[in-house]
Structure 1
Amino acid sequence: MEEAIFLIQKMDCPTEEKLIRDRFKTTAGVESMHFNLMQRELTVRHRLGSTQALLKGLTGLGLDPVLKADSLDVSAAALQSNNAVEGFRIPILKWVLMGVSGVAAIGSEVLAWSSGADGS
């Protein structure tokens, strides 16, 4: 029995889970699927010769899967996993903007509290 783990950033609710289950319920060789919606991971236990059919099916649903781990080809999965993490890295500009907005929010709360004009 082989196992493949996919990172699917577009999978975050039971709707995507149902789409995936419906897509693979009649696929010969797919034994089970485990969904971790919080981590956006799909683990498929299968008896297929490769993960290409799984990748093609997920891509056909518009989910843009990334192979995170594959018991058939550990080296290829590790390489793709590292590239996937790089692709989802948050740019430094967004971190700076989040910091500035946090400081502004705290400043406005302090100002409202100290002036007694908190809107109530």
Structure 2
Amino acid sequence: RTLPTNIAIDEFRGPQGKYCFIIVDNDTSQIYQILPDRLKSSITHYFDRFSLKERKRVKSVSTDLNSYYQGLMRRYFPNAKLVVDRFHIVSMLTRAFNQVRVAVMKQFDPNTREYRALKN
């Protein structure tokens, strides 16, 4: 089998609440493979099945900010560009913005207009 040229990887909560590892073809948005867990041994075992020549064909790997995955992808796809996907960037920025908003909000008395504006 061949690998897609551009892939996306992530984890999701599968059956019985257990995390699974998913690989998606980024060009077609089709699920390429789902591994039953996200353990390093499972991921390395799966990608070891492909030759280095095949893995070098992968041009990009889209992932979240998990440095664990980034390290594995650099190892297995030496020619691929690592791309942090939009969803995780927006999610990280939203969390950071909300932390700052709440910190500023707490500086005001709860009965003030400023507090209510930041609360809403």
Task: Give the TM-score, by structure 2 length.
Answer: 0.33
Higher relative contact order (CA 8 A, sep 6+): 1
